[in-house]
């Protein structure tokens, strides 16, 4: 009769099959690659064409972007807000940092009154560094 030693049994238990772990890692990687752009996207806007590309370098920390869709919904910092909330935030930022530049991204099919409302309130708050964003020609 042949005896089995305990040493051989321990050797086979110490080997770990990493194939299922790699499969899980690749599946999670694919899920994150697909969902990350969806989480970072703001409003789905079709900007009007025209204008020229920006040539000067701006500090991205000084830029605040306000988005307006065709139905008049406002968004700032990737969060839906009312116009009053946006203006309160912009006035606070302007008092803290007078170099704040406000980008306004508005859908080309939306009524102009939504953009005019932002512009008139910015003028009343004496925030004069404003840029209406467009798509460069040829895109």
- Looking up tokens 């008049």 gives 72
Look at 21-25, 42-46, 77-81, 112-116 and tell me which has the smallest mean pLDDT: 42-46
**Does residue 131 contact residue 103 with C-beta atoms inside 8 Å?**
yes
CA distance 125 to 87: 9
- Of 135 and 139, the structure prediction assigns the larger pLDDT to 135
Average pLDDT over residues 104-130: 92
Check residue 3 and give its pLDDT.
Answer: 57
Every domain of the chain and the residues it spans:
6-40, 60-132
Per residue in 46-65, pLDDT (tens digit) is 777 777 766 677 888 899 99
CB distance 107 to 45 below 8 Å: yes
What six digits make up the tokens of 68? 């307006």
What is residue 135's DSSP assignment?
A: B
**pTM of the entire structure?**
0.65
pLDDT in tens, 64-114: 999 999 898 999 988 999 999 999 999 999 999 999 999 999 998 889 999
Class of residue 102 by CB neighbours under 10 A (exposed 0-12, middle 13-18, buried 19+) = buried
Position 13 scores a pLDDT of 55
DSSP-derived secondary structure letter, 78: T
DSSP lists the bridge partners of residue 80 as 75
Identify which has the larger pLDDT, 61 or 137: 61
Fold of 60-132: Nucleotidyltransferase; domain 5 (3.30.420)
């Amino acid at each position: 009769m042949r005896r089995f030693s305990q040493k051989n049994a321990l050797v086979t238990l110490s080997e770990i099959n990493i194939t299922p772990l790699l499969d899980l890692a690749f599946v999670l990687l694919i899920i994150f690659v697909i969902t990350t752009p969806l989480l970072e996207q703001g409003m789905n806007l079709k900007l009007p064409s025209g204008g020229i590309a920006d040539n000067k370098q701006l500090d991205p920390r000084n830029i605040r972007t306000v988005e307006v869709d065709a139905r008049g919904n406002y968004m700032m910092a990737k969060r839906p807000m009312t116009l009053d909330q946006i203006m309160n935030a912009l006035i606070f930022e302007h008092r803290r940092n007078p170099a704040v530049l406000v980008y306004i991204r508005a859908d080309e099919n939306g009524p102009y009154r939504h953009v005019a409302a932002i512009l008139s309130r910015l003028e009343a708050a004496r925030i004069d560094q404003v840029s209406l964003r467009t798509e460069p020609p040829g895109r």
